Amino acid sequence: MSFSLAHALTGLFWLGALLLLGGLARRASLWQQGRSASVSWLGLLAMPKRYFVDIHHVVAREPAVARAHVAAAGGGVAILLLSALNYGLMLYQGWLDVLLVLMAALMLLGARMMQARRLQAPPRLSQGRWQVLPARLRLFALGSLLAAGLLFAGPQLGMAGQLIAVVALLMLALGGAELALGIGLGWPMKHAVAGLLHLAFHPRAERFAAKSSDLKPLNLAAGELGVAKVEDFAWNRLLSFDACVQCGKCEAACPAYAAGQPLNPKKLIQDMVAAQSRGTDPAYAGNPHPGREAAVMVQPGEDIVGSVLAAETLWSCTTCRACVENCPMLIEHVDTVVNLRRHVTLSRGEVPGKGSEALANLRNTDTVGGYPLAVRYHWAIDLDLPLLQPGEQTEWLLLAGEGAFDMRYQRALRALVKVLKAAGVKVAVLGAAERDCGDVARRLGDEAGFQRLAQANIATLAQYRFARIVTPDPHVFHCLANEYPALGGQFEVWHHSKLLEHLLARRAIPLKADATPLPPLTFHDPCYLGRYNDGYHAPRNVLKGIGIKVVEMPRSGRDARCCGWGGGAAFTDIPGQRRIPDMRMDDIRETGTGRVAVACPNCTAMLEGVVGERADVIELAELVAERLA
């Protein structure tokens, strides 16, 4: 009998392995629908580091879940490896059985922890097959435990032993099916295989080396116009969707979802899975896009937007990257959103709300709001701000950005110039030669518009001589620092928070001597400074430098909630239950400080647009200017 149990295990192992391979082949054929992408096979070697370091960074934010996963996944992988040795290769070593029993116990523990968590599952978690997965894993672990235990106990099995062996085999078969069939049938355990491959062939592999948040340029000359159909995604992008574990961390972080706009990033990723699998996967059992039916119909060959995905879903995204930052599977939602938008904008020309007007303004006037370029620096008329002439030299070139047209934000700009002057910084501006940086165009999917503006700006900037660029607009900062290099524009760009921090640290800014403590306030992180560029410390150091205590909101720094402006969302203005800035103002109110410091013209406008009792919104530069001696 023991002979037959061991052989049965060998048979079961190879059967499972075959099924897994077959399933993988089927899934790979789905990924193959996508475009080719240049990937490095060395990624396979980098996989362990990416798994243990990069994923760990994200997962460790929830220690209990991390521990459960380590136990279940670690135990599971160990069981598979040991089984491969002991039964697959038919070594049938007793000491391996012992190890197996230990690993099975570990996995059992992990699965048990997971199951316990599922009892009070947060609403962001998907139900359906995901809900029963821990139980299945327990079966598998228990089956392994029993089988290995029986084998170790000896060749002689009594009636009871035989019965247990049969039960153990059944358990193994049932539990193992999750993995063996999962990849092929799109069951939850698909994530294990797809997730590992995703780590190896990540579409943004550079993120494993350093911060990477730039959108990649389209090759317009080659006819690239974004993603219309599944086939237009790169194959490894399709693979990345299959890595999703439907944990809903993105859903919980998404400001648009919280505002009741029809976007749930988790569902968005699952929509992409449904599109590539043509709906053959088990039905989605998580929260829908708010206000939309959960079920979607998928017609093969159809455009994604309009069939699987409603356009409003796409346009609700503020590109705040909160989802990306929180995704344990390192999925890049924003890339997908923008890729899909590119098709809708470039090919169909269907940008909703005032988005199309903003794009038309950019085409016609090189400003988002349709202003004459000549008035951009009117607010500085009495500030004696030098206009840089081609060939002249300056230390700092100030790019005011679109905020220069906003009467409110002009106050902040004036404050900034005052502070820089007081600190003796040599700064000049371009005047009418400054065009929009192209941020809004690019996030709204108008890649052609972005590239036109970027190239024009790069050509303009090349005519001037300056050491560095400083801008108070994080969007200008991000575009110039991170996205212009791909188009050939290499500039050293600083956000004004960094320059102010630098000047304060060098005591270059003459501050008032009086020691009256300033009332504390809270700080709202701009997405394009914070999550996009890890610029969390500079603004806080500036506030500290002028003696203001920051009372942090629960959602701050990496978890800061977007103000709702980004990605052109203020222009497309997709209706929801609430407005994102109203929610952010609630966050601010909760700190009880009654004042919020901001470091972005758009955050300023969005937060000041909140109606009713609201906190004072003050720009960083204004706060420093107030403290000038």
Ligand X SMILES: Cc1cc2nc3c(=O)[nH]c(=O)nc-3n(C[C@H](O)[C@H](O)[C@H](O)COP(=O)(O)OP(=O)(O)OC[C@H]3O[C@@H](n4cnc5c(N)ncnc54)[C@H](O)[C@@H]3O)c2cc1C
Q: Which residues bind another protein (CB under 8 A)?
A: 220, 225, 345-351, 353-354, 356, 359-360, 363-366, 370-373, 406-408, 446, 448, 570-571, 573, 575, 579, 605, 609, 611
Give the number of other CB atoms < 10 A from CB of residue 21.
Answer: 13
Site for ligand X in 546-575 (CB under 6 A): 570
Could you count the other beta carbons within 10 Å of the beta carbon of residue 139? Answer: 22
240 part of the interface to ligand SF4, by CB under 6 A? no
Contacting residue, 43, 255, 290, 449, with ligand SF4 by CB under 6 A? 255
The C-alpha atoms of residue 301 and residue 602 are separated, in whole angstroms, by 39
In 3D space, the residue among 447, 587, 420 whose CA is nearest the CA of residue 508 turns out to be 420
User: 380 to each of 289, 393, 508, 526, 603, how far by Cα in Å?
Assistant: 46, 20, 22, 25, 22
Q: Which residue is nearest to ligand X (CB)?
A: 609
Minimum Å distance from CB 435 to ligand X? Answer: 21
In the complex with another protein, the residue whose CB is nearer, 224 or 559, is 224
In our burial notation (b when 16+ CB lie closer than 10 A, e otherwise), range 64-77 reads ebbebbebbbebbe
Chain-centroid distance of CA 578 in Å reads 23
String marking each residue 166-205 x if it binds ligand SF4 according to CB under 6 A? ----------------------------------------
Cβ nearer to ligand X, comparing 195 with 568: 568
Cα-atom radius of gyration of the chain, to the nearest Å?
A: 28
Task: Please name the residue that has the structure tokens 């039916």.
Answer: 293
For residue 5, state whether it binds ligand X (rule: CB under 6 A): no
In degrees rounded to 5, what are phi and psi of residue 532?
-75, -30
349-369 burial, b at 16+ Cβ within 10 Å, e below that, comes to eebbbbbbebbebbeeebbbe
In angstroms, the CA 507 to CA 43 distance is: 46
Sheet strand arrangement including 595-598: 522-523, 595-598, 616-619
Q: Which is nearer to another protein, 104 or 218 (CB)?
A: 218
- One residue of 141, 250, 296, 493 binding ligand SF4 per CB under 6 A: 250
Site for ligand X (CB under 6 A): how many residues? 5
Query: Minimal distance in Å, beta carbon 34 to another protein?
Result: 21
441 or 546, CB closer to ligand X? 441
- Listed in sequence order, the residues at least 6 apart from 314 whose beta carbon sits closer than 8 Å to its beta carbon are 263, 305, 337, 340, 341, 344
Q: Does 321 bind ligand SF4 (CB under 6 A)?
A: yes
**606 contact choice in another protein, ligand SF4, ligand X, none (CB below 5 to 8 Å, kind-dependent):** ligand X
Q: Is 323 in the site for ligand SF4 (CB under 6 A)?
A: yes
Which window, 401-409, 532-540, 601-609, 616-624, contacts ligand X (CB under 6 A)?
601-609
Q: Which stretch binds ligand X (CB under 6 A): 52-60, 225-233, 503-511, 602-610?
A: 602-610
Q: Nearest distance from residue 605's CB to ligand X, in Å?
A: 5
> Quick check: 576 binds ligand SF4 (CB under 6 A)?
no
Could you give the strand order of the β-sheet that contains 427-429, starting from the edge strand earlier in sequence? 427-429, 393-398, 465-471, 493-495
Kindly indicate which of the ranges 39-47, 234-242, 535-543, 606-614 contains the residues binding ligand X, using the contact rule CB under 6 A: 606-614
Per CB under 6 A, the list member of 319, 361, 394, 533 interacting with ligand SF4 is 319
Amino acid of residue 335: D
What residue ranges bind ligand X (CB under 6 A)?
570, 605-606, 609, 611
Chain residues that interact with ligand SF4, rule: CB under 6 A? 244-250, 253-256, 263, 265-266, 269, 317-323, 326-329, 331, 333-334
